[in-house]
Amino acid sequence: MKYVIGFRGVLQFLTVLFGSLLFLACSSEHSPDVSREEWMPLFNGKDLAGWDVKIAGYDLNDNFAETFRVEDSIMKVDYSRYEKFDGKFGHIYYNKPYSYYRIRIQYRFTGKQLAGGPDYAYLNSGVMLHSQSAASLGKAQTFPVSLEMQFLASNDSVKRTTGNLCTPGTEVHMDGKLVTDHCINSSSENYDEDRWINAEAIVLGDSIVHHIIEGDTVLTYENTLVGGGFVNTGMSWRVGGFADSLQWMKKQSTPLKEGYIALQAESHPIEFRKVELLDLKGCKDPKAVNYKSYYVKSDPSQCRYK
């Protein structure tokens, strides 16, 4: 049996085909990939734009002796212009707070610890999560109220895990129970100094936090709170003075849901090659043009429909 398609049939077929191809082309051009992760570099590889420096004993953004500097597209904690450490604990804070996010960092330890640095700070640094802002620290304050994802390195003399947790002015729960230890070791492998390490934290408000080292989840905790031994009048010197201590005491046992991100300077040189963030809070309405399927927390105020 033969099928004969007339001119009109051919024309209709071509019209439908062309319309389908045009639709696919337009869809490909204008419809975003809602699952594609949009990571934002917090460090631009050129300078310290977007960051605030706070070093104990110095005013906000007094970057004493260029402790934090950028060279060869790397953010460095450098002590070459110091004579001794003398309690100059420092942090550099990204200037925007976040609550639900993933942060990825590449770091490595270099050189020798500065004279006068505490013994525990040997091959020791970290990233502070859910931190108070740089501007809110007291002048003498050594550490911000925060959750510290602690970075440690190993060598022939010392073997230590990395991606640990320390809790200046904070408390957490693990397996449903309050943990009172100031520092909690992870299950990571031991990584030698001078090696670039890939670290990531997944932070979901005050509900749960995961520490990830080289792709492995090495520590998980939940129910993050303001509190602990660093937030009381007896330890006020650790948090910047009596008035500042009272301020945080009023927040004792309240959920720690958001905060700033800060990198630490604790007397051992360290380099950061990558600092990037994926915001997990945004528009969850599929009808919006900026909808992303990976958002965890809904923020309707961000939705755009044109």
> What one-letter code names the amino acid at 195?
R
Domain ranges in the chain are 40-281
Q: What is the CA radius of gyration of the chain?
A: 25
Mean pLDDT, the chain, rounded, equals 88
- Residue-wise over 22-50: b if at least 16 C-beta within 10 A, else e? eeeeeeeeeeeeeeeeeeeebbeeeebee
The confidence score (pLDDT) of residue 148 equals 97
Q: What is the mean pLDDT of residues 167-182?
A: 94
Of 160, 240, 158, 246, nearest to 197 (Cα)? 160
The answer on pLDDT for 5 being more than 80 is: no
Fold held by 40-281: Jelly Rolls (2.60.120)
Checking if the pLDDT of 67 tops 60, the result is yes
Q: Which of 42-51, 98-107, 137-146 has the least mean pLDDT?
A: 137-146
pLDDT value for 30: 42
Q: 16 pLDDT band (50/70/90 cuts)?
A: very low
pLDDT at 4: 46
pLDDT tens digits, one per residue of 185-198? 999 999 999 999 99
Nearest by Cα to 204 from 137, 150, 258? 258
CB 128 within 8 A of CB 147: yes
pLDDT for 31: 54
Percent of the chain with pLDDT over 70: 84
Give mean pLDDT, residues 256-269: 98
